[in-house]
Copies of this chain bind each other. A is one copy, B any other.
């Protein structure tokens, strides 16, 4: 039952452990084919796999990556980041240590130390949502930031291209013929990186299209279905000629709230009101009635990117700036042309 060691293979093959090691690591330049074969056969026979701990001690590399996050593993939001990171690691024979710190600084510090003591080959520092963070001082250089960017730079980072996502969402609505497009923003967040960028993208499209946004179209609510519902109510309470025919929501949950508000007034989606969300949360976007057109957060791809950089397989294009991962729009059924009553307005465009 005891583990098979390299010395067992050596004994079985009648050679020294040095030879076994050389053969199994494919450094056979000076080893005869006969011996190499014998060693490989012996290793297979006795079922030898090298002890990673011993190897790690000697080589100072553990084929192990530490992934520290506030709570991506424990919330339904960003698990696909883990998935992406995990897949790349596995493809290259690495294991990942996962630590969720619950955003507790003490826990975070201890986690970083524990991972360093385990001689992880690299670390990834991940957040649940796109924001700017102060990099903990003890993070080793080269640590990759995932879904967040360090205040002072100095680390490779990957974040969603929220600005482009805002553009895509607004373009989709403009293309459908809408002119009165609201932005349902999140309420006083955290350093509002994601919401600010999405808003910028939205404003850019309006501007390019020659639409002057009504200030009343920028409403806020907390990041929940209820928050979205209340904010939507305020939009729908606007007088007919200022009332938006389409709403771009900060996220899918708030979009779900917009659905509720619309339904309560007997408005149909998309016939009477078009809605675009953000995040592409499977449990929300795809299951709404009708399914929600939304902008996908490329969590899986960001996770892959981060791990590739951590493993040194890929280098950041521009080491100075965070890598911006595209946010593709996912067309479902919540966007349609504006209702006829509003159509006269949009005709102005030509």
Contacts and interface: CB of A to CB of B under 8 A. Distances in A.
Interface string A279-301: 00111100111000000000000
A30 interface: no
A119 B50 CA distance: 11
Interface string A81-103: 01100100010010111111000
Nearest to A114: B95
A260 B118 CA distance: 51
Contacts of A287: 224-226, 253, 256-257, 284
A99 B73 contact: no
A52 interface: yes
Interface string A40-56: 00000000011111101
Nearest to A89: B99
Interface centre among A80, A96, A117, A282 (most CB of B within 10 A): A117
Contacts of A117: 49-53
A19 interface: no
A205 to B, nearest CB: 29
Nearest to A56: B53
A62 interface: yes
A94 to B, nearest CB: 9
Given A62-B53, A95-B115, A119-B51, A73 B86 contact: yes
A350 to B, nearest CB: 38
A64 interface: yes
A113 B263 CA distance: 54
Nearest to A80: B74
On chain A, which size bracket covers the interface?
35 or more
Nearest to A281: B283
Contact of A283 (B64, B100, B116, B253): B253
Nearest to A260: B289
Given A224-B287, A287-B224, A287-B225, A79 B86 contact: no
A48 to B, nearest CB: 11
A100 B119 contact: no
Nearest to A141: B1
A57 interface: yes
A75 interface: yes
A53 B57 CA distance: 6
A118 B100 contact: no
Given A95-B118, A107-B90, A76 B79 contact: yes
Contact of A95 (B82, B97, B284): B97
Interface centre among A71, A74, A82, A229 (most CB of B within 10 A): A74
